[in-house]
Amino acid sequence: MSGDGYPASSARRGVGARGRGNAARTLARSHACSGSGSGSGSGSCRGSCSGSGIGIGIGIGIGIGIGDDRSMQDDSDPRIHSPAAERNRAPILAQLQRLLPPRGSALEIASGGGQHAAHFAAGLPQWRWQPSDGDARAQASIAAWCAGLPNVLAPITLDVMAPAWPGVPATVDAIFCANLIHIAPWPCCGALMRGAARHLGDGGLLLTYGPYLEDAVETAESNLAFDAELRRRHPDWGLRRIEDVAAQAAAAGLRLRERVAMPANNLLLAWARPS
């Protein structure tokens, strides 16, 4: 599996909010994308990618039985606990604090259980954080994790594949999406880029996190194994070449501004409009 193990968010199931629900209904971090014929996503694809017909559940672990995040969870606690999110939230936050300005508004796509939202919002107190996920259980978990944080809005349902994203502000300063692109049908990637281009304000960043393939970089054995397992689970999933993702971004008017190597063979990619 990849360094993190598996996606911590449930948005993969839908791509995003509706994708997840719809990603699971989006499976697309469990979190599918319409038009793909398959219903899976990373957490927010169906939740964020509608029309997949496959719902992953909350997080890949929960949705497809890989690294089930619920094993140590108290049934009376609505919060979903993801070991992967627990491990990677601090290094991701450190990069967000470096890359983002002191204040702004952010949309998180395929938020999953909400551990990232809670941690990032607490570490970026001058940012208004809008989580999204298509899975009802994930939304309840997000609300529980973020209770008491004044800068976190109520989670919304978001279908990444939709031509418009109702409920999302016309302009945001940043969009964060973790572990969605590889756990969703490929069309979700282009839809994510187009949606980000519609909603990012001047100087805004789309930040995508997860494992990728790179032509000039040898792929870690753990990522090769994770890719094989994803493709075994669903033919429309799998690690994506950064070069292919960059082509989808370019078609939407975005370019790769920065590549940040992260723990466990993951990358944080910052996408923006050309200066």
pLDDT score of 45 more than 50: no
Task: Report residue 202 as tokens.
Answer: 């001047």
Asked whether 28 and 48 are in contact (CB, 8 A), the reply is yes
| Three-class secondary structure of residue 221 per DSSP | helix
The answer to whether 63 touches 24, Cβ cutoff 8 Å, is yes
Q: H or E stretch including 127?
A: strand 127-131
Max CA pair span of the chain: 50
Q: Which residue(s) pair with 209 in the sheet? A: 178, 268
Does the pLDDT of residue 226 top 90, yes or no?
yes
E strands, 179-265, where? 200-210, 255-262
Asked if the model's pLDDT at residue 51 lies above 50, the reply is no
Q: Give the per-residue pLDDT at 48.
A: 60
- Its pTM stands at 0.82
Q: How confident is the model at residue 75 (pLDDT cuts 50, 70, 90)?
A: confident
Q: In whole angstroms, what is the distance from residue 248 CA to residue 34 CA?
A: 17
CB 138 within 8 A of CB 112: yes
The encoded tokens of residue 255 equal 């370019």
Residues 115 and 154: beta-carbon distance below 8 Å = no
> Per mean pLDDT, which range of 10-19, 84-93, 183-192, 233-242 is the poorest?
10-19
pLDDT at 36 exceeding the cut of 50: no
Average pLDDT value for residue range 41-62 = 41
pLDDT of residue 49: 64
Query: Kindly report the CA angle at 239 between 232 and 200, in degrees rounded to 5?
Result: 135
The region of weakest confidence among 8-12, 163-167, 192-196, 208-212 is 8-12
The residue type of 161 is M
β-strands 104-109, 172-178: how paired? parallel
